[in-house]
């Protein structure tokens, strides 16, 4: 199932989101305008603002003035990606040249800062202090997660607990915050807002575990990045962690990672061993657990078409191929 089917109920909102992004990124500074155009032309799935819209509409009630918050959420997401590509020295993003590849690291860092500033200027103008607090916490934890990941590169002995803590900070809390903000702007009860927050958290955990599986077993033409891209940069993820638990070649793999001796042959060996040891099924099983937990989080709400879409998204997240 494609995201455009899942997001049919918020087509108008997503169109307003695109218009809002185009408007807020319009700049008389040519370089800023050029980079903004590049970012808009290589847009992703808009998952976070879409979840924000759906969570805000889960009671099937119309709300006003919520599009700017969605614009801010997407700007924050774009800012983190621009900064991530600098940190990871990535040449591509979503199959297109990254900002740092085209314009260099200095411009990229400043552009990320620019996007953050734009996002919080919007949230401030909206005037809902809760959304500002939520997104501030998201950025704080994401930064911690990035620093943690840098501290752990080329260290093969990462535990499952350490990995999940990193995923929580880098991915789950942002998706959780996006869903939480939907409930906040819609004026829901505290227990309902918490349910949406928990839904987003579990969805985010499932999303990242699936993403890490696709890094090893996905198709480059669909994922937009080469197989084993994380390991090439020294980042150990759940499939590799589970593989080491039962692989007879674990000491060999650990030594290669510690020595930063990673080539195409090693990636192929690792992929094969992930499949042979059952690490893929084990990691996928954990992603399923998180996805099922996300669906349970929505039980506080009465059945509705929007609720069904949110439940379907949890299923889509772990069955996607990109």
Per-residue pLDDT of the chain (322 residues; tens, 9 = 90+): 455 667 888 999 999 999 999 999 999 999 999 999 999 988 788 999 999 999 999 998 877 789 999 999 999 999 999 999 898 888 888 778 888 999 999 999 999 999 999 999 999 999 999 999 999 999 999 999 999 999 999 999 999 999 999 999 999 999 999 999 999 999 999 999 999 999 999 999 999 999 999 999 876 655 556 789 899 999 999 999 999 999 999 999 999 999 999 999 999 999 999 999 999 999 999 999 999 999 999 999 999 999 999 999 999 999 875 5
Instruction: Give the model's pLDDT for residue 1.
Output: 45
Spans of all domains in the chain:
9-319
Q: Which residue from 282, 264, 172 is spatially nearest to 227, judged by alpha carbons?
A: 264
- 92, β-bridge pairs: 97
What would the two tokens of residue 29 be?
């500074």
Q: Which residue from 186, 189, 243 is spatially nearest to 213, judged by alpha carbons?
A: 243
Other beta carbons less than 10 A from residue 279's beta carbon: 24
pTM of the model: 0.94
Distances (CA, A) of 300 to 35, 128, 215: 43, 24, 35
What would the two tokens of residue 101 be?
């590849």
Q: Which residue from 15, 3, 6, 121 is spatially nearest to 69, judged by alpha carbons?
A: 121
9-319: CATH architecture? Orthogonal Bundle (1.10)
């Amino acid at each position: 199932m494609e995201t455009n089917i899942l997001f049919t109920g918020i087509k108008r909102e997503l169109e307003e989101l695109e218009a809002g992004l185009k408007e807020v990124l319009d700049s008389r500074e040519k370089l800023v305008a050029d980079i903004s155009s590049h970012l808009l032309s290589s847009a992703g799935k808009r998952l976070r603002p879409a979840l924000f819209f759906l969570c805000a509409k889960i009671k099937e009630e119309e709300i006003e003035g919520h599009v700017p918050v969605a614009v801010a959420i997407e700007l924050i997401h774009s800012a983190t990606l621009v900064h991530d590509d600098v940190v990871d020295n990535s040449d591509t993003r979503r199959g297109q040249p990254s900002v740092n590849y085209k314009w260099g690291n200095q411009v990229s860092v400043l552009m990320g800062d620019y996007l953050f500033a734009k996002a919080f200027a919007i949230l401030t103008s909206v005037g809902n202090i809760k959304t500002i607090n939520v997104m501030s916490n998201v950025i704080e934890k994401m930064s911690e997660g990035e620093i943690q990941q840098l501290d752990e590169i080329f260290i093969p002995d990462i535990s499952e607990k350490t990995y999940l803590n990193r995923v929580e900070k880098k991915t789950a809390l942002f998706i959780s915050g996006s869903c939480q903000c939907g409930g906040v702007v819609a004026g829901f009860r505290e227990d309902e807002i918490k349910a949406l927050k928990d839904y987003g958290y579990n969805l985010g955990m499932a999303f990242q575990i699936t993403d890490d599986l696709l890094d090893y077993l996905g198709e480059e033409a669909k994922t937009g990045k080469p197989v084993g891209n994380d390991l090439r940069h020294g980042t150990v993820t759940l499939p590799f962690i589970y593989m080491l638990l039962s692989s007879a070649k674990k000491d060999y793999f650990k030594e290669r990672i510690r020595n930063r001796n990673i080539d195409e042959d090693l990636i192929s060996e690792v992929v094969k061993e992930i499949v042979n040891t059952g690490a893929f099924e084990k990691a996928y099983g954990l992603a399923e657990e998180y996805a099922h937990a996300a669906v349970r989080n929505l039980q506080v709400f009465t059945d509705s078409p929007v609720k069904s879409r949110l439940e379907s998204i949890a299923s889509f997240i772990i069955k996607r191929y990109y």
